[in-house]
Copies of this chain bind each other. A is one copy, B any other.
Amino acid sequence: MKYQELANKIKKNIEEGLYRDTEKLPTEENLVEQYGVSKYCVRNAISILVEFGLVYPVQGSGMYIRDSKREGCLSLRNTRGVTEELAGHTVKTKVVHLEKIPATEKVAKRMKCKLGTPVYYIIRARSVDGEPLSVEYTYYNQKIVHVIDKKIAEGSLFGYIKNDLKLSIGFADKILRCDKLTQETAELLGLATGDPALIIEDDAYLSNGKMFNASVVFYNYKIARFFELAEMR
* A58-89 Cβ-contact flags toward B at 8 Å (1 or 0): 10010010101100010011110000000000
Q: How many copies does the complex hold?
A: 2
A175 engages B73 (CB within 8 Å): yes
Q: A58-B207, A171-B56 are in contact. Are A230 and B77 (CB under 8 A)?
A: yes
Tell which of B198, B207, B230 touches A177, judged by Cβ atoms closer than 8 Å. B198
* A193-233 Cβ-contact flags toward B at 8 Å (1 or 0): 00111100001010111000000000101001111111111
Residues of B within 8 A of A25 (CB): none
Residues of B within 8 A of A179 (CB): 196, 221
A232 engages B170 (CB within 8 Å): yes
A101 at the binding interface (Cβ < 8 Å): no
A174 at the binding interface (Cβ < 8 Å): yes
* Chain A residues within CB distance 8 Å of chain B: 53, 56, 58, 61, 64, 66, 68-69, 73, 76-79, 169-180, 195-198, 203, 205, 207-209, 219, 221, 224-233
